[in-house]
């Protein structure tokens, strides 16, 4: 039996529709850059100190950990899942790492322990979601509270102080090379590595295939369960790294560090163009979303606006991003159907 080739007109139409899809979602990321530029220009015009060296450094430092978590979260969301436990993982790892360092552990073993604890949390989430087929929202909401409870049990009202930590760790959180802080450089390296993997490797593209249609991906031979498990491992591992960087950045941690950050991370991912329904988006857009949200917060502080408006604006951007994703999804599906009929 010989395979029948698709008619040339239909093939060209499908390619044109897909090219248009790529253009639309690339424009989404460019629109974030434009919005960020307008926000910075307006705020700097009102208060010139906004773009001072210290102001820019603060924005980069405040963005670094959020963007790192957004990179891991975006891998999960691309597979049509979600991880609500990242904030609690950051808090747990920050305290556990600080505790072992205060007891005299070496810096490298402590950092590896922090990443391993985060990866273990991701492993639990991934196993329950991928192999036990429990809904991701239920699993990660449950582990959020379990990890928070474990964190409070370990902390038992104690506090880790900067004086108990090795200077090398604190230098990592507050030092710089050629004027650029270490934290955003670490986040940039992770973002580029994960982004290149998702885009350039066949196994990376399988994450998008799962998010677009899990059943179709399964029929095409994609190991759906293993890829979903890997996504949660990445998210958990990066949350563990984020916990270590949180400790390095702030020095003083208590039992509820990063409390509530899971919703901020999800907001950054969705605002950055990663569709909550899966299959669309990039880690670069997620990092841009984190930068935009952080810059909005810094701008409101500089302009002496009530902090309530930061939450209101974040919520409005989240609703707008979800609405835009829905409209784009409908239009893209229509374009693909038209391209397929040609």
CA distances to 20, 56, 290 from 52, rounded to whole Å, are 40, 6, 21
In a domain, 2, yes or no: no
In a domain, 4, yes or no: no
In a domain, 59, yes or no: yes
d(CA 71, CA 239) in angstroms, rounded, equals 10
Please report the pLDDT score of residue 335 as a whole number: 63
H or E stretch including 256? none
Please report the pLDDT score of residue 7 as a whole number: 45
Please report the pLDDT score of residue 150 as a whole number: 94
In a domain, 58, yes or no: yes
In a domain, 1, yes or no: no
Please report the pLDDT score of residue 27 as a whole number: 66
Please report the pLDDT score of residue 10 as a whole number: 44
Please report the pLDDT score of residue 308 as a whole number: 75
- 283 with 74: CB under 8 angstroms? yes
Please enumerate in sequence order all residues whose Cβ is within 8 A of that of 189, keeping only pairs 6 or more positions apart, or say none.
none
d(CA 77, CA 3) in angstroms, rounded, equals 36
Q: What does 110-164 look like in DSSP terms, one character per residue?
A: HHHHHHHHHHHHHHHHHIIIIIS---HHHHHHHHHHHHHHHHHHHHTT--B-GGG
Range of the domain at 207: 9-341
What's the number of domains the chain is made of? 1
Q: What radius of gyration, in Å, describes the C-alpha atoms of the chain? A: 21
Please report the pLDDT score of residue 327 as a whole number: 73
In a domain, 322, yes or no: yes
Please enumerate in sequence order all residues whose Cβ is within 8 A of that of 328, keeping only pairs 6 or more positions apart, or say none.
24, 25, 28
In a domain, 87, yes or no: yes
pTM tops 0.75, yes or no: yes
Taking only the tens of pLDDT, the chain with its 342 residues reads: 444 444 444 444 445 444 555 555 566 677 888 888 888 898 888 888 888 888 888 899 999 999 999 999 999 999 999 999 999 999 999 999 999 999 988 999 999 999 999 999 999 999 999 999 999 999 999 999 999 999 999 998 899 999 989 999 999 988 889 888 999 999 999 999 999 999 999 999 999 999 989 999 999 999 999 999 999 999 999 999 999 999 999 988 988 888 889 989 999 999 888 888 888 889 999 999 999 999 988 888 888 887 777 778 878 877 877 777 677 666 666 765 665 555
In a domain, 3, yes or no: no
- 254 with 96: CB under 8 angstroms? no
Longest dimension (CA), the chain: 75
- 190 with 69: CB under 8 angstroms? no
Identify the CATH number of the domain in which residue 133 sits. Answer: 1.10.3470
Backbone angles phi, psi at 2, to 5 degrees: -100, 145
d(CA 303, CA 39) in angstroms, rounded, equals 12
Q: What does 282-342 look like in DSSP terms, one character per residue?
A: -HHHHHHHHHHHHHHHHHHHHTT--THHHHHHHHHHHHHHHHHHHHHHHHHHHHHHHHHH-
Please report the pLDDT score of residue 301 as a whole number: 84
Show the DSSP H helices in 201-282 as ranges.
Answer: 202-212, 214-219, 224-250, 261-271
């Amino acid at each position: 039996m010989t395979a029948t080739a698709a008619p040339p007109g239909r093939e060209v139409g499908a390619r044109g529709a897909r090219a248009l899809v790529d253009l639309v979602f690339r424009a989404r990321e460019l629109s974030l850059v434009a919005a960020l530029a307008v926000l910075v220009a307006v705020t700097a015009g009102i208060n010139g100190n906004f773009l001072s060296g210290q102001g820019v450094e603060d924005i980069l430092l405040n963005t670094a950990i959020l963007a790192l978590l957004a990179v891991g979260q975006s891998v999960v969301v691309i597979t049509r899942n979600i991880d609500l436990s990242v904030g609690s993982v950051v808090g747990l790892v920050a305290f556990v790492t600080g505790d072992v360092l205060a007891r005299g552990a070496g810096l490298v073993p402590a950092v590896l322990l922090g990443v391993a604890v985060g990866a273990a949390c991701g492993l639990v989430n991934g196993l329950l979601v991928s192999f036990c087929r429990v809904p991701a929202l239920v699993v990660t909401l449950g582990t959020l509270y379990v990890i928070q409870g474990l964190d409070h049990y370990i902390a038992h009202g104690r506090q880790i102080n900067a004086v108990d930590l090795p200077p090398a760790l604190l230098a990592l959180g507050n030092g710089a090379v050629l004027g650029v802080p270490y934290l955003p450089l670490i986040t940039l390296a992770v973002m580029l590595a994960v982004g290149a993997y998702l885009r350039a490797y066949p196994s990376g593209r399988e994450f998008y295939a799962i998010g677009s249609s899990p059943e179709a991906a399964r029929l095409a031979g994609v190991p759906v369960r293993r890829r979903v498990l890997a996504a949660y491992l990445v998210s958990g591992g990066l949350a563990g790294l984020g916990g270590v960087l949180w400790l390095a950045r702030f020095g003083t941690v208590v039992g509820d560090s990063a409390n509530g950050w899971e919703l901020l991370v999800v907001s950054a991912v969705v605002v950055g163009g990663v569709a909550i329904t899966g299959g669309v988006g990039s880690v670069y857009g997620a990092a841009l979303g984190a930068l935009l949200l952080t810059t909005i917060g810094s701008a409101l502080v500089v302009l002496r606006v009530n902090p309530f408006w930061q939450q209101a604006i974040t919520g409005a951007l989240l609703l707008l991003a979800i609405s835009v994703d829905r409209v784009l999804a409908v239009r893209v599906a229509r374009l693909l159907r038209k391209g397929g009929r040609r």
